[in-house]
Structure formats: structure tokens, C-alpha cells
Amino acid sequence: MIEITPEAWAVMVQHAQACYPNECCGILIGSESPGRRQASLAVACRNAYSGSQSDRFEIDPKDQLAAERQARQLSLGVLGFFHSHPDEAAYFSQTDLKNHWPFYSNVVLSVRHHQVVDAKCFQVDVDQTASTEEELLWPKS
């Protein structure tokens, strides 16, 4: 399971709503113990996908490197990634499956009419053929 702190959650929601109706993307940083991850920092990244961004994203590699450096400086780790689904449910698509690595926690935010209405988290199998839902705790407001 992964828990999102209020500080990290606020960044994710703000980024998802600011990018709407395009997909946003970012990186989750925090600490982990067996079976439990806590994301205390969310880093908003630029969507570098060159086509229509309403249903695609690609994290800007420069932003990703900067986030990894920031995690190291804080003695934390990169736990996973987040992206939004504008006017779609929080599910893991076939494209998502192909574009995510195993072992990470991947949070999908459903955004409708500029508002984040739902969130779910998924992990990808080692061979990237299936995803399983991971328990996600976020501060409900």
C-alpha cells in the first residue's frame, strides 16, 4: 500500500487541475518499509509528449533527473509516478501498461470539469503484461 501525505497530495491535485484538459505527470518521492510506502513529496513534471496530450504523457527526462537528485539529497527514494486522466476514470490503460516500469507505484487521478474526483494506484507485472491495483491512501478533504 502507498499513503500520500497532505503536502504531496496538494501538489498532485494542483498539477492535475492546472494541466486539464491535458494529462499531467509527476514523480512520487518518499520512504518505504516492507509492504508500505509513504509519498511525502510529489514533484510536478512537464508533459513532454509531442502529440495530443489529452490522453498521453511522457515525463520530461530533465525533470525526472532533477527529481531523482532531489530524492537522493533528502535521503528518500523514488516510489513511483502519477498522471491524470482528463474526463476518464482512474484506471490503468494498455498504454499505461507499456509505459510504466514494474515495482513502482503508479497513481492515476481522474479529473472531471477541472476537479480531481478519484484516484487509484497500480503496479505493473515484471513482464509488463498486467497490472494490479495497490491500496492507496490519500487525504480526503
Among 20, 67, 90, 96, which residue sits at the site for Zn ion (rule: CB under 5 A)? Answer: 96
Q: Interaction with Zn ion in 51-80: which residues (CB under 5 A)?
A: none
C-alpha to C-alpha distance for 97 and 58, rounded to whole angstroms: 13
Closest Cα to residue 20, out of 114, 108, 107?
114
Distance of CA 9 to the CA centre of its chain: 10
Q: Interaction with Zn ion in 24-53: which residues (CB under 5 A)?
A: none
Nearer to Zn ion, 38 or 110 (CB): 110
Q: Write down the least CB distance from residue 21 to Zn ion, Å.
A: 14
DSSP state, 109? E
The residue number whose beta carbon is nearest to Zn ion equals 96
Contact predicate 16/57, CB 8 Å: no
Chain residues in the site for Zn ion (CB under 5 A) = 93, 96
